[in-house]
Amino acid sequence: MEPDLQATNGVVHIVDRILLPPNTKL
């Protein structure tokens, strides 16, 4: 996996945690 793609996935994960309520986290 390329570093850029891996970094992007990390950012998306952080954004999802911020936007989505903790209750929706499965």
Per-residue model confidence as pLDDT tens digits over 1-26:
677 888 888 898 888 888 877 666 55
Task: Read off the pTM.
Answer: 0.42
- CA distances, 17 to each of 1, 2, 5 (Å): 23, 23, 19
pLDDT of residue 1: 64
User: What are the C-alpha distances in Å from 10 to residues 16, 21, 24?
Assistant: 10, 18, 19
CA distance 20 to 3: 26
| pLDDT confidence of residue 26 | 59
End-to-end CA distance of the chain: 25
